[in-house]
A = this chain, B = another copy of it.
Amino acid sequence: MNIFTRGETQIFTQPVLKINLNNLIDNYKTLCEIIAPATPSAVVKDDAYGLGAREVARALYEHADCRNFWVAHALEGARIAEVVPEANIYVLQGIGTDSRDLFEEYELIPVIASPEMLAFWKKNPIEGIEPVIQVETGLNRLGFRAAELKKLGKADLKIFGTVLSHLACADEKDHFMNAHQLANFEEIRAKYFPDLPATLSASDGAFLGADFCCDMVRLGAAMYGINTAPYRLNQMKNVITVEAPVLQIADLPKGEFVGYSATYRAAQNRKIAIVSIGYGDGIPRALSNIGKVFFKKKNKVFEARIVGRVSMDNVICDVTDVPELHVGDFGTLIFDEYTLDDIARDAGTISYEIVSRLGKNTRFVRKYDLK
């Protein structure tokens, strides 16, 4: 974006977060085909991984007929209930003293993962709601263990409407844990819940075949564009773009240092740009001296390496080789050719953490694209 009005430089200071809901809907529909005939459902916990749970849930509800949503906390369910009136909203962290009222008010469905939580439910049931039971099959996170399942009475087993487990290593197709967890899940289902619909897989499990898809798949990360099956090329479309304005362009003389703790020293004369985005906006500080800012010029994309530490409000990048760059131009930090997966790799983490963190910042100009 090169912005001149009658020769006058325009100055911008705010970063921009663009969320392409059309691509998100396309990803959801692609995933629906992959998992068919299993029922699709959408994971919009953590504010839809930071992208705005209300906007995402409404788009999926209205444009893709999604009728099943998963959140982590009851308050997240309450936030989307209004925009998905006829849908089931499942709450993964379950129900407790601090959230029961919300379950009742918004007709949320708890996932019950422990004998203690089941005892709480039995003392505080909500009429018309059939909870999900989570069973542990190898992740060793939430879920009834084998010994706990054994202690459930027949009346207890009848409380539930769905049985759920969660895979640990589904992003690695041939990992031994996948077959191990599937076998455990099938054994538990046969023994305790032969008549209940079952859900085992999230986005990553969707690519492991029909056995793993069971009756319902919980589609999350892949819908947001993340490659959850990194052993194959990503079939998903990119959903987010992050841009930030150039506040200043300056010469960096040979021998000078850049940024906090002087972690970059210019070996030759360089040119730098100060770009108005930082870790306060969710760009990880781990990208110091590693990350990239891209500039589109002359129908080409130029890559400018971040130099020095990422600071709270700014990154500094080496634009020596970027032609015709001006104050007021925008650099791009995430886009179709340098996606969440790419920035996460450079930052030494996973895409999920990047997007979850980015989207919550309120300094962005936030733009949703939905046709």
Task: Spell out A's residues near B (CB within 8 Å).
Answer: 8-14, 45-47, 72-76, 92-99, 113-114, 116-117, 119-120, 123, 136, 138-143, 145, 168-169, 171-172, 175, 177, 245, 247-248, 250-252, 256-262, 272, 274, 276, 279-280, 282, 284-286, 308, 311-314, 316, 327-328, 348-350, 352-353, 356-357, 360-363, 365
CB-CB < 8 A to A119: which residues of B? 8-9
Set B9, B75, B261: member contacting A116, Cβ < 8 A: B9
CB-CB < 8 A to A73: which residues of B? 13-14, 313, 363
Closest to A140 in B: B258
CB-CB < 8 A to A177: which residues of B? 257, 262
Can you name 10 A-B residue pairings with CB atoms under 8 Å?
Answer: A10-B96, A11-B117, A46-B280, A72-B312, A93-B313, A94-B247, A143-B248, A175-B262, A284-B353, A360-B362
CB-CB < 8 A to A172: which residues of B? 261
- Are B10 and A97 in touch, CB under 8 angstroms? yes
- Are A11 and B97 in touch, CB under 8 angstroms? yes
CB-CB < 8 A to A357: which residues of B? 279, 282, 357
CB-CB < 8 A to A259: which residues of B? 139-141, 168
Closest to A100 in B: B11
Q: Which of A46, A141, A282, A284 has the most CB of B within 10 A?
A: A141
Overall SS of chain A's interface: loop
- Are A280 and B247 in touch, CB under 8 angstroms? no
CB-CB < 8 A to A360: which residues of B? 360-362
CB-CB < 8 A to A260: which residues of B? 139, 168-169
Q: Which of A97, A248, A327, A362 has the most CB of B within 10 A?
A: A248
CB-CB < 8 A to A168: which residues of B? 257, 259-262
CB-CB < 8 A to A280: which residues of B? 45-46, 72, 356
CB-CB < 8 A to A251: which residues of B? 145
Set B46, B284, B285: member contacting A313, Cβ < 8 A: B46
**A147→B172 CA distance, assembly (Å):** 56
Set B12, B96, B308: member contacting A140, Cβ < 8 A: B308
- Are B47 and A362 in touch, CB under 8 angstroms? yes
- Are A250 and B11 in touch, CB under 8 angstroms? no
- Are A285 and B47 in touch, CB under 8 angstroms? no
**A341→B262 CA distance, assembly (Å):** 21
**A214→B145 CA distance, assembly (Å):** 64
- Are B312 and A247 in touch, CB under 8 angstroms? no
- Are B316 and A276 in touch, CB under 8 angstroms? no
Closest to A139 in B: B259
- Are A363 and B11 in touch, CB under 8 angstroms? no
